Structure 1
Amino acid sequence: MPRTARKKSKTGIYHVILRGINRQTIFECEEDALKFIQTLGKYLKDGGYSLYAYCLMGNHIHLLMKEEKEDLGTSIKRIGASYVYWYNWKYERIGHLFQDRYKSEKVENGKYFLAVLRYIHQNPFKAGLVKELADYPWSSFNEYIGESKLIDTNFVLNMFSNDRSKAIDAFKKFHAVEGQETFLDIDEKKKWKDSDAIELIKSICHVTSCKEVQKLDKKEQSHYFKLLYQEGLSARQIARITGIGRWMVLKAINN
């Protein structure tokens, strides 16, 4: 079946997701993340696109950007190809790293733009990786409240206030609220059958029966639940199989 053409944004602004092929990890260490950010900077100049937000996760990347001199597809291709060339050289591998087609959604009004921006920055918190957005080093959040390196921060901050100090305060308050909107997501969490999920839980939690997870201390449970969640198990499925209350699982994941 032929691919459908991407819908063009009237504003030229898009929320873009790049995913590792077969859920492969894209960033093995800090050097990898730094290299990707450097690559974004290089092609920001060459391609002339505007970048409003980014967030690098383990096996996927979120970008909020506006196409300028060249179309979106060309910019994404340049960024991806350059990083993959370096990554393959470093790890002595060959072949693809990203899925062959990136995902994108058009962003055509200010309200949705800000909601997407917040969603991108909140990814590490929702994944249980940090307790504060400013603690995550691989997103653009800190460029808005500190030194700007890649991001066109004025465009966004002026949407809050013309006074920069007031704009930053409003920006922080806006990000302190969890958005309820639904956005383009990676949609790559494996749908685990209970039989497979049971074996995964036993393997990750080092138990012979899933009910034994109830006997682990809270710190161990929290650690294992985060790993299981990252593998694609939902809080509901973890709770059902282990017999631990769903709200307790959610609390552990978000702790």
Structure 2
Amino acid sequence: MPRTGRKKSASGIYHILLRGINRQTIFEEEEDAIKYLETLKNYQDKSGYKLYAYCLMGNHIHLLLKEEKEELGIIMRRIGASYVYWYNDKYNRCGHLFQDRYKSETVEDDRYLLAVLRYIHQNPLKAELVKNIVDYKWSSYCEYIKNDEIIDTDFILELFGEERKKAIESFKLFHEESKNERCIDINEKKKISDSEAIEMIKRVCIVSHCMDVQRIEKEQKNKCLSLLKENGLSTRQIARLTGVGRSIVLKA
């Protein structure tokens, strides 16, 4: 069946979702996330887009982006090709990293723009990776309340008020609200089989056998357990396959 064309945004603003192929982890280490953010920044001048939000999760990415000089498809190909080339070289792999077609939805008014912004920033909370939104290192939330680096914060903050300090406070309060926004998401409700889970555990934790996870140093183990949960494994499944106590998995 032929693919349908993407809906064109009159505003030029899109909410974009990229996911790893076959639930592939996109960010194994902090260096990977740093490189992806550097790639986003490098192509801002070349492609002439504005970035309003991002959130890098274990096996997927949310972006809120406005196309200007180049159209969305070209922008995403540039960013994707550059990062995948670097990633494959680092991990001595070849082939695709991202699912072949990213998802996108148009954002045509300020109300939905802010809804998507909050939805993106609250992703780590919903995944139970952090208890406070400000504690997540790989989203654009802190660029709004501290220093902006790759985000065009002025455009969004002006929607909260003319005086920047007050606008930032309103921005924070807005993000404390819990809403059920209906935005595009990975929709991964399919249960991951034990055989798939075993391979994921070996890859993410860099072990030969799942039970070896018990012997990993505590801080590194917690990082691995957190990443496994983020990639769709249940607490019960991780505990059963690795022998790590359920309470430890829950706390990670």
TM bracket, shorter-chain basis: 0.7 to 0.9
Q: Give, in angstroms, the shift of residue 182 of structure 1.
A: 1.1
Aligned 1:35-184 pairs, distance under 5 A: 35-184=35-184
Report the structure number with the largest CA radius of gyration: 1
Q: Give, in angstroms, the shift of residue 228 of structure 1.
A: 7.7
Contact 1:13 1:65 in 2 (8 A): yes
CA distance in 1, matches of 2:17, 2:117: 13
CA distance in 1, matches of 2:112, 2:43: 26
CA distance in 2, matches of 1:86, 1:228: 23
CA distance in 2, matches of 1:58, 1:13: 24
CA distance in 1, matches of 2:146, 2:23: 33
SS in 2 for 1:151: coil
Contact 1:128 1:254 in 2 (8 A): no
Contact 2:25 2:231 in 1 (8 A): no
Aligned 1:202-213 pairs, distance under 5 A: none
SS in 2 for 1:162: coil
SS in 2 for 1:165: helix
Which amino acid in structure 2 is aligned with residue 54 of structure 1? Y
Contact 1:54 1:62 in 2 (8 A): yes
* Structure-2-length-normalised TM-score: 0.79
Q: Give, in angstroms, the shift of residue 93 of structure 1.
A: 0.7
Q: Give, in angstroms, the shift of residue 231 of structure 1.
A: 5.0
CA displacement, residues 120-140 of structure 1 (integer Å, 9 cap, x when unaligned): 000011111111111111110
Contact 1:127 1:254 in 2 (8 A): no
Contact 1:127 1:253 in 2 (8 A): no
Structure 1 unaligned regions, length at least 5 = 207-222, 239-251
* Structure-1-length-normalised TM-score: 0.78
CA displacement, residues 61-87 of structure 1 (integer Å, 9 cap, x when unaligned): 000001110000100010000000000
Which amino acid in structure 2 is aligned with residue 158 of structure 1? E
Structure 2 unaligned regions, length at least 5 = 202-209, 211-222, 237-248
Match of 1:32 in 2: 32
Which amino acid in structure 2 is aligned with residue 85 of structure 1? Y
Which amino acid in structure 1 is aligned with residue 126 of structure 2? K
Cα-Cα RMSD: 2.9
SS in 1 for 2:122: helix
Q: Give, in angstroms, the shift of residue 233 of structure 1.
A: 6.5
2:1 counterpart of 1:5: no
Which amino acid in structure 2 is aligned with residue 12 of structure 1? G
CA distance in 2, matches of 1:152, 1:66: 10
CA distance in 2, matches of 1:150, 1:23: 27
CA displacement, residues 22-68 of structure 1 (integer Å, 9 cap, x when unaligned): 00000011100000000000001110001000000000000000111
Paired-residue identity, %: 62
Q: Give, in angstroms, the shift of residue 188 of structure 1.
A: 3.2
After TM superposition, the runs of 4+ consecutive aligned structure 1 residues lying more than 3 A away are 225-235, 252-255
SS in 1 for 2:55: strand
